[in-house]
Amino acid sequence: MAAAEASGDLAAAPEPSASSCSSESTSLKEVNLPYPERLPVDKRLLNLQIYKLLQCVHEKDKKQIENLIQKGFPDLINYTEPKEGYSAFHVASMKNDIEMCRFLLEHGAHPNVHDNMGRTPAMKAAELGYEVILELLAKANADMTAVDNEGKGILFYCLSPTGRHSHCLQIALEYGADVNNCTTTGRSVLLQACEQAHEVKEMCLIFLEKGASPHAKDPATGRTAVMEAAREGAAEVVLALLRRGADVNLFDFERHSAAHFAAKGGFLEILTIISGYGADLKLIAMNGNTPLHYAAEGGFTDCCRYIGQRGCDPTWSNLANLTPRDVAKSGGFKAAAAVLRKAEKAFKKPDEILAWYLKVYDWSLQHEDAIRKEFEIDEEGDGMVSRNDFMSVIQKQWGTVDEEQIEILAKKHEVSTDRISLDDFFKGSKYLQKTFLLSSFGPKAKKKKKPQKKKGKKGLPVPVCVIPKSERPLREDGFPTYMVEAVPNIPEEQRFKQALQSAHPVLDDRAWYVEEPRKTLMDINYLVREGDFVSLQKAFDEGVPVDIKDKYYKTPLMVACASGNIVLVEFLLEKGADVNATDNFLWTPLHHACYNGHLDITEVLVKAGAAVNAPAIGDATPLMRAIEACRLDMVYFLITAGADVQAINSNGKSVLDLAQVFEDATIIELLENQLQILAEEQEKEEAKPAKGGKPKPAELPKPVKKESSDGSQPSEEEPVPEKTKRSRKDSSAYWKSLATRENKNDISFRPRKIWSPDATAMQLAEKRELLCERAALCGHMEDFTTLFNRKFKK
């Protein structure tokens, strides 16, 4: 329980806690004034008032809090409950209640009250990431240097990888938190942050910028901040520590150095950094492992090659009598074992000059900015420096090396007399082989495979032609005009509000309340494919043009002709659809009907005035589409309707040429007979005198089946199927009758919503029979496919 303010009105005061920070209790402790003991009744009453205050803070009952402060024990607002030691300010801070914190501060709450663990409200707010509460406490003079029972300051509670905790850290540092704060065991906050440097990398860098000591060390394990950062793989933190003077060659109580931890994690970048700052990669731990053993244990091939080149003994055996190559083999890392085998061969022939060159190369990579800064005065902007200046800088760093070696190094980088290229020096290619350069490490770039040549005709793929969005007409609500409202087809049992309670327990009147169907917009051509007459009738009644085009330039009549719905075709023609409308390829509805093999629709279109010889974008006529569909009956009908059998497309192929490509003997025979008749008529016209009348056109012979090979059976004409009678609902007149009546005096019953009628079993069977009969003409069954889905053999 926290200490209370000494008051003469009270019979006794509560026993002070060891973690209390109030000025009054501190002064009492300093002078060692004895506390008179409270009676058990007073202690119980005080505890009840404390818990009642905490409950009111939790429930945000400000009126009751004021009543307790005025009529309860003096300074009740700063007392803590006996179990956890939380005060009213602790509870408000942990609930992130900003208004309650301000209210408590106005009524004399102390911001530095400690709980039983020694934690202040500011520490709890920082631990939970409540940045606004922490800033409020900081402005209320909360002590940012206070520590808990373990010696941890507020910065320890900010170590969490979130943006809110980062803001709390900045607030704490701004108001005087100690970046060199250590626990009672001697662990600094920087060391704690480096142990999780992978998550709080930015916080580690902030600590170093604010002046944290880079020599932090754990007294229990002997690990330094550099070791912990290397173990976590935080290269930027390792570099920042080394730039501020951290010793890279220290080792812990197990003789593990930063190189061991970097090699164990496979962090090649950290190995290059510590090597540039003079790290000894040959240190041996107490278990006999070198950094090369740990790199081989993880199968890190690049790390094994790098450490082996920098002088680590690849033939050293640990306490288990295993060399690095044995460790790699036992782990199944063949690539690392092969690299270590090469390192063993190279280690037998040591080269001191190469070892020094590698040290110079690693040092130059990590100190490039500092070296360039030293040559800033003498550099002429072209990356050239004088020979003497270059040698003086090298000799300053490597004073123990012979001057002859430095001269040889300088001579290798001479571009002209007394001029040395710094860029070549930092690349290292002038004095080291490519295998030693850092650019040779890492995964090799995969060679781009040449794309396989596709068989067939060469050319660019043809994109799908659509109407640009800027040119599509829009409705008032912003949707394209070809998007119309679809009438939902809801079953009878789902049309009423089943969940609505009846108005009377006896009379069930739920059926009087019809559910409003949800408005759904669909492409009008999708409704055409589905045969939704009701939605189409409603759209046309609302003013949607019957010849509207979708984004693929197709009108409803074209889609109906392609899908083979003759009732819908008649319905659209009665609505005034243009029988000669064209799409982006100049195909008319007759082209679509002929290409998909619908003879009955072709007859309806020709009767409605469709152009029989309408040319498409490649001068292809409907007759050519019928030939491509291999429909003899359709070719015969188009010829009798006046189709030009002498038409030629843009590729120079005639109707007969196309028939020969598709190899239909009956169509070829029909076309040859017709062309022969036309040739004979032309000869007769040329032989007739000028005054002669017009000759009668010769009758076109009907197609006859070929005789069988034995010739026993006589030839028979192909029977023409009789037209089946369709039900009243298949007639377009029936669907037209569903239109709204314009007569205002008509008082006949009309439903509020149009529900599409469900087809009976008989109607579905008749529709199926009609489709099968149409598909069976001239031997074409239900597996009939269009032109672009077939495979032809030459």
611: Cβ contacts below 8 Å, ≥ 6 apart: 580, 588, 590
CB 49 within 8 A of CB 65: no
Digit-coded pLDDT (tens) for 143-180:
999 999 999 999 999 999 999 999 999 999 999 999 99
Q: Out of 264-273, 376-385, 780-789, pick the least confident.
A: 780-789
Highest mean pLDDT among 209-218, 364-373, 477-486: 209-218
Gap between the Cα atoms of 647 and 538, Å rounded: 42
CA dihedral sign, ordered 394, 397, 403, 405: negative
pLDDT for residue 745:
64
Which residue has better confidence, 751 or 232?
232
CB burial of residue 376 (10 Å; 0-12, 13-18, 19+) = exposed
587: Cβ contacts below 8 Å, ≥ 6 apart: 558, 616
Residue 788 reports pLDDT greater than 80: no
Element (H, E) at 251: none
Question: Which residue do the tokens 């074992």 mark?
Answer: 337
Gap between the Cα atoms of 348 and 332, Å rounded: 25
Give, to the nearest 10 degrees, the angle between helix 566-574 and helix 599-607.
20
Q: Give the tokens for residue 244.
A: 């501020």
pLDDT for residue 478:
79
Q: What's the Cα-to-Cα distance from 727 to each of 54, 114, 175, 724, 760, rounded to whole Å?
A: 82, 91, 90, 10, 11
pLDDT for residue 768:
78
Question: Residue 530's pLDDT band (boundaries 50, 70, 90)?
Answer: confident
Q: Mean pLDDT of all residues in the chain?
A: 80
Question: Which residue do the tokens 């023609």 mark?
Answer: 573
Q: Out of 380-389, 533-542, 604-613, pick the least confident.
A: 380-389
Which residue has better confidence, 85 or 692?
85
SS (H, E, C) 68-106: HHHHCCCCHHHCCCCCCCCCHHHHHHHCCCHHHHHHHHH
Q: Where in the chain is the domain with CATH 1.25.40.20?
A: 1-116, 179-247, 255-350, 469-498+514-686
CB burial of residue 373 (10 Å; 0-12, 13-18, 19+) = exposed
CB 244 within 8 A of CB 215: no
Q: Out of 22-26, 277-281, 664-668, pick the least confident.
A: 22-26
CB 136 within 8 A of CB 25: no
Digit-coded pLDDT (tens) for 391-442:
888 888 776 677 788 888 888 888 877 788 888 888 888 888 888 888 888 7
Residue 758 reports pLDDT greater than 80: no
Helix (H, G, I), strand (E, B) or coil at 648: strand
Which residue has better confidence, 768 or 116?
116
784: Cβ contacts below 8 Å, ≥ 6 apart: 597, 775
Which residue has better confidence, 275 or 459?
275
pLDDT for residue 390:
83
Residue 201 reports pLDDT greater than 60: yes
Q: With pLDDT > 90 as the criterion, what percentage of the chain qualifies?
A: 43
Q: What's the Cα-to-Cα distance from 150 to each of 14, 19, 81, rounded to whole Å?
A: 25, 11, 21
CATH architecture of the domain with range 1-116? Alpha Horseshoe (1.25)
Residue 13 reports pLDDT greater than 50: no
Residue 766 reports pLDDT greater than 80: yes
Residues in the chain: 794
Which residue has better confidence, 208 or 5?
208
Taking the domain 469-498+514-686, which CATH number applies?
A: 1.25.40.20
pLDDT for residue 714:
43
Digit-coded pLDDT (tens) for 620-638:
999 999 998 888 889 999 9
pLDDT for residue 706:
42
pLDDT for residue 30:
29
CATH of range 179-247; options 3.40.50.720, 3.40.50.1950, 1.25.40.20, 3.40.50.11440: 1.25.40.20
Gap between the Cα atoms of 310 and 328, Å rounded: 19
Q: Out of 325-334, 338-347, 526-535, pick the least confident.
A: 526-535
Q: What is the rounded average pLDDT of the residues 116-140?
A: 93
Residue 483 reports pLDDT greater than 70: yes
Q: Where in the chain is the domain with CATH 1.10.238?
A: 353-440
Q: With pLDDT > 70 as the criterion, what percentage of the chain qualifies?
A: 76
Highest mean pLDDT among 288-292, 376-380, 715-719: 288-292
Residue 518 reports pLDDT greater than 60: yes
pLDDT for residue 209:
93
Roughly how many angstroms between the first and final C-alpha of the chain, as a whole number?
Answer: 100
CB 603 within 8 A of CB 593: no
Q: What is the rounded average pLDDT of the residues 252-258?
A: 94
pLDDT for residue 584:
87
Q: How many CB atoms lie within 10 A of CB 730?
A: 19
pLDDT for residue 453:
58
pLDDT for residue 306:
93
Residue 133 reports pLDDT greater than 90: yes
Q: Out of 19-23, 235-239, 240-244, 670-674, pick the least confident.
A: 19-23
Taking the domain 255-350, which CATH number applies?
A: 1.25.40.20
Digit-coded pLDDT (tens) for 708-728:
344 444 444 444 444 444 444
pLDDT for residue 491:
60
Taking the domain 353-440, which CATH number applies?
A: 1.10.238
Q: What is the rounded average pLDDT of the residues 38-49?
A: 85
Gap between the Cα atoms of 738 and 728, Å rounded: 13
Gap between the Cα atoms of 457 and 61, Å rounded: 83
Residue 794 reports pLDDT greater than 80: no
Which residue has better confidence, 20 or 457?
457
Gap between the Cα atoms of 121 and 89, Å rounded: 6
pLDDT for residue 781:
47
pLDDT for residue 789:
52
Residue type, 683: E
CB 287 within 8 A of CB 258: no
Q: How many CB atoms lie within 10 A of CB 422?
A: 19
Question: Residue 7's pLDDT band (boundaries 50, 70, 90)?
Answer: very low
